[in-house]
């Protein structure tokens, strides 16, 4: 049950993102996932949203979270980690969600190895934010606010 009646934005993080801060800081920065989520909660509060966040190491857990978000959450922000590049089950699950979906990457996969250039999430997302590091989640929440305001 939601703690408040504010619209809920679900922020999903895929494999290895629990290691942010320790994992390749030269690529992903020194902020931990908790740092990113705390900052996201502050931004969400200013925008009038409630944030729920989940980190999962497998596509199946993320698929279940997306099913549970249908008709309960206003929007989904997702950094699927490496699942971005091949997890069609995640893509299919997101396609069943009717609200805004923002794909976030801390790094810019387009400037990295070629296997990171394809995203199977991008075709079902409202838009993608990549390469802005610690600003990614703040930018994504502002994108959600803009898209939800457009719908009113």
| Spatial CA neighbour of 97 closest among 128, 73, 121 | 73
CB of 84 to ligand DQA, least distance (A): 6
CB of 75 to ligand DQA, least distance (A): 19
In this complex, which beta carbon is closest to ligand DQA, that of residue 7 or of residue 109? 109
Cα–Cα distance between 131 and 105 in angstroms, integer? Answer: 6
Supply 115's token pair: 């296997």
67 noted as active-site residue: no
Spell out the residues 6+ positions from residue 151 whose beta carbon is closer than 8 angstroms to its own.
none
137 noted as active-site residue: no
Interface residues with ligand DQA (CB under 6 A)? 16, 79, 81-82, 84, 105-107, 109, 116
79 pairs with which residues across the strands?
Answer: 13
The catalytic residue among 67, 105, 135, 137 is: 105
Active-site annotation, residues: 28, 105
């Amino acid at each position: 049950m939601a703690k408040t009646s504010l619209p809920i934005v679900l922020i999903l993080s895929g494999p290895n993102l629990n290691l942010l801060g320790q994992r390749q800081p030269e690529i992903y920065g020194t902020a931990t996932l908790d740092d990113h989520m705390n900052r996201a909660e502050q931004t969400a509060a200013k925008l009038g949203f409630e944030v729920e966040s989940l980190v999962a190491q497998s596509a199946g857990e993320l698929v279940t979270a997306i099913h549970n978000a249908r008709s309960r959450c206003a929007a989904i922000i997702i950094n699927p980690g490496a699942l971005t590049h091949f997890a069609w089950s995640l893509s299919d699950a997101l396609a069943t969600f009717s609200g805004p979906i923002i794909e976030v990457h801390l790094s810019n996969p387009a400037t990295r190895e070629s296997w990171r250039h394809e995203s199977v999430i991008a075709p079902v997302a409202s838009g993608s934010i990549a390469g802005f590091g610690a600003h990614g989640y703040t930018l994504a929440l502002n994108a959600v606010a803009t898209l939800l305001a457009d719908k009113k």
